A and B are shown apart, each in its own frame.
Chain A
Amino acid sequence: MSNIDVTAKTYDLPWLAQAMDWLAGDGAERAAGGLIRHLLLPLVGIGLFLMLWAAAASQIQTSLGQLPGPTQVWSQSVALWGEHREERAREAAFNERIEQRVERAVASGASAEEIAKIRARGYTGAPTFVSQIWTSLVTVMVGFLLASLIAIPLGILCGMSAAVYAAVNPLIQVFKPVSPLAWLPLVTIIVSAVYVSEDPLMSKSFIISAMTVTLCCLWPTVINTTVGVATVDRDLMNVSRVLRLSWFKQTVKIILPSALPMIFTGLRLSLGIGWMVLIAAEMLAQNPGLGKFVWDEFQNGSSNSLARIMVAVFVIGFIGFALDRGMLLLQRRVSWDKTAVLR
């Protein structure tokens, strides 16, 4: 089959694979059935949703005018993109002006100190919707990676040693259900007290958001890794004992591969939670990101605000979905059990 087909299957786009089958003329009937299930029915669902939405929106009057329907939301998403492009163009123009000034200063024989002063004046435009998306993505990834770096080793220890598990389990059970909104004030105050630097590498708000994400998405990975490690097949452990594998070799060759599916389940849950937590944290703490965008629009209260918030809702949903798909692809790539159905 064609290359596109392979790609479609790999990236879980069944309708594209089906369309390729159909175009290639093999199993036209089966392909048509698949096409109905994977393309037509989802489209019907989406279409119905849009119609219901449009009908309901026209009936609801809010303090900010009529509730926006699909068309208004679409036009706002185009507008948001346009604003982003304009802002980038302004930034480019600003940078060009700075370069010109630097050139002039060099020509007039200014000292290096003066040139550095000119350069230090960075562009200070307001962050656009797209740059807020980027900020949120970076924050969630940093928080999630940090959580994984702590949670996977901790989970392995808990799974291997009943004593460690008994010691750590109460803490896990108590901290797991804590809402991110409860962590936030604590994290804010602690980071403000501890992270004092003249020339900070990262902004305080970034660290606060990332830490909150970390605290909330530790637990699913810890718990699932523990279970995965604790339930390694006894026979396989006996093989390891007969071979007298060292502690390290046993961990790397037997326990980790065996626990990998469970670890990934935990990581996917964690990333999903992390993304939800981040939006809430950004909203509450006014830290840059998509959450702040939503909050600012809410406070702003212009006639476009509701439509813009809806754009943000869809974008948040799509990104959450994309993150989960990304983890799934990674899981498929590293999974040894090719027969397992991963969804």
Chain B
Amino acid sequence: MSAYLSIDRVGITFPTPKGPLEVLKDIKLDIAQGEVVSLIGHSGCGKSTVLNIVAGLLEASTGGVLLEEREVKSPGPDRAVVFQQHSLLPWLSVYDNVRLAVDQVFGRRKTRKERHEWTLHNLDLVHMGHALERRPSEISGGMKQRVGIARALAMEPKVLLMDEPFGALDSLTRTHMQDSLLEIQARLNNTVILITHDVDEAVLLSDRIVMMTNGPSATVGRILDVDLLRPRDRLALAEDPTYHHYRAEVVKFLHERHAPAVTQSARPARERPTLRLAANG
């Protein structure tokens, strides 16, 4: 039996002026339907690259991604992305931004009236039904991100990909958004991949936390199952020892800055040629 979404031995190498750079190596991860998985790691380790490969925006150099046993080759609305920088079209109203996605995905399957109602429904879901005619420049950062989530949800994706969706928000707004996401997840039971560097966010929202080693050649360092009952409540969890245990586990991993043993032993080897050159000169 294979998983709903399977990231199978994915690696990616980018050409650079100094030669090829292996950013990801051997990423292996199976995700079940309705599961929320967080990818956490230090900045620059390639978390977003994993997400972009699943989205189809980048092509893996080795391995591949299977969604419902079909290979992912190009981007599509079945893998909707919520970008870190909201990415709303600034010349369209809140309503039109979501409507564009709805029209594109359901243009043939739904009538005009149904599409209108579906747009409103999704905006209501993120509590943005009151600002339909506002432009993105006229609403706050948190509101923009809500609209971005509404747009992604409106595509009825098989997997919702969130790339540090709350990273650019202030901490109070971020808390609100996390609660909203919990509430939406309780209603819709989406399959979600969430990129984050916020430990509390990872523990609060996910069923599993995938901790990545530092790059280059970053890979999955450790996977932590978060066995907390849903629906989760931020205040109740604040007192919960299990919650604190999970939190501590993630912090410990990140603090030890897991670099794979291979690269550490490879360091002296990389220095050797320079020494030899110096001796020759």
**Chain A contacts for B81, CB-based, 8 A:** 238-239, 242
Q: CA of A253 to CA of B155 in the docked complex: distance in angstroms?
A: 18
Q: Name the distance in Å between A34's Cβ and chain B's nearest Cβ.
A: 26
* B89 touching A236, Cβ below 8 Å: yes
* B76 touching A244, Cβ below 8 Å: yes
Provide the main secondary structure of the chain B interface.
Answer: loop
Contacting residue for B83 out of A235, A337, A338, CB 8 A: A235
**Chain B contacts for A243, CB-based, 8 A:** 77, 100-101, 104-105, 155
Judge if A254 is at the interface, Cβ distance under 8 Å. yes
Q: Which of A148-173 contact B (CB under 8 A)?
A: none
**Chain B contacts for A233, CB-based, 8 A:** 87
* A254 touching B77, Cβ below 8 Å: no
**Chain B contacts for A239, CB-based, 8 A:** 81, 83, 87, 89
* A242 touching B135, Cβ below 8 Å: no
Judge if B91 is at the interface, Cβ distance under 8 Å. yes
User: With A235-B85, A253-B100, A339-B137 known to touch, is A242 a contact of B90 (CB < 8 Å)?
Assistant: no
* B89 touching A238, Cβ below 8 Å: no
**Chain A contacts for B90, CB-based, 8 A:** 336-337
* B89 touching A254, Cβ below 8 Å: yes
Q: CA of A236 to CA of B90 in the docked complex: distance in angstroms?
A: 10
**Chain A contacts for B89, CB-based, 8 A:** 236, 239, 253-254, 257
Judge if A241 is at the interface, Cβ distance under 8 Å. yes
* A242 touching B100, Cβ below 8 Å: no
* B91 touching A241, Cβ below 8 Å: no
Q: CA of A131 to CA of B153 in the docked complex: distance in angstroms?
A: 62
* A242 touching B77, Cβ below 8 Å: yes
* B77 touching A235, Cβ below 8 Å: no
Judge if A52 is at the interface, Cβ distance under 8 Å. no
**Chain A contacts for B85, CB-based, 8 A:** 235
Judge if B79 is at the interface, Cβ distance under 8 Å. yes
Can you list, as one digit per residue, whether each of A212-243 has a CB less than 8 Å from chain B (1) or not (0)?
00000000000000000000010110110111
* A242 touching B91, Cβ below 8 Å: no
**Chain A contacts for B177, CB-based, 8 A:** none
**Chain A contacts for B79, CB-based, 8 A:** 242
**Chain B contacts for A257, CB-based, 8 A:** 89, 91
CB closest chain-B residue, reference A241: B75
Kindly state the interface size class of chain B when it binds its partner: 20 to 34
CB closest chain-B residue, reference A335: B91
User: With A235-B85, A236-B87, A241-B75 known to touch, is A337 a contact of B80 (CB < 8 Å)?
Assistant: no
User: With A253-B100, A257-B91, A337-B90 known to touch, is A242 a contact of B137 (CB < 8 Å)?
Assistant: no
Judge if B57 is at the interface, Cβ distance under 8 Å. yes
CB closest chain-B residue, reference A242: B75
* A245 touching B87, Cβ below 8 Å: no
* B57 touching A238, Cβ below 8 Å: yes
CB closest chain-A residue, reference B85: A235
**Chain A contacts for B80, CB-based, 8 A:** 242
Q: CA of A239 to CA of B86 in the docked complex: distance in angstroms?
A: 10
Q: CA of A244 to CA of B101 in the docked complex: distance in angstroms?
A: 10
User: With A253-B100, A336-B135 known to touch, is A241 a contact of B57 (CB < 8 Å)?
Assistant: yes
Q: Name the distance in Å between A166's Cβ and chain B's nearest Cβ.
A: 20
* B101 touching A336, Cβ below 8 Å: no
Q: Which of B73-118 contact A (CB under 8 A)?
A: 74-77, 79-81, 83, 85, 87, 89-91, 100-101, 104-105
**Chain B contacts for A244, CB-based, 8 A:** 75-77, 104
**Chain A contacts for B57, CB-based, 8 A:** 238, 241-242
Judge if B150 is at the interface, Cβ distance under 8 Å. no
Contacting residue for A337 out of B74, B75, B76, B137, CB 8 A: B137
Judge if B55 is at the interface, Cβ distance under 8 Å. yes
Can you list, as one digit per residue, whether each of A255-271 has a CB less than 8 Å from chain B (1) or not (0)?
00110000000000000
**Chain B contacts for A249, CB-based, 8 A:** 104
List 23 A–B pairs whose Cβ atoms lie within 8 Å, in order of A's numbering. A233-B87, A235-B83, A235-B85, A235-B87, A238-B55, A238-B57, A238-B75, A238-B81, A239-B83, A239-B87, A241-B56, A241-B74, A242-B57, A242-B79, A242-B80, A243-B100, A243-B104, A243-B155, A244-B77, A254-B89, A336-B91, A336-B135, A338-B137
The 4 residue pairs across chains A and B that have the minimum distance between CB atoms: A336-B91, A235-B87, A241-B75, A257-B91
Q: Which B residues are within 8 Å of any A CB, using their own CB? A: 55-57, 74-77, 79-81, 83, 85, 87, 89-91, 100-101, 104-105, 135, 137, 155
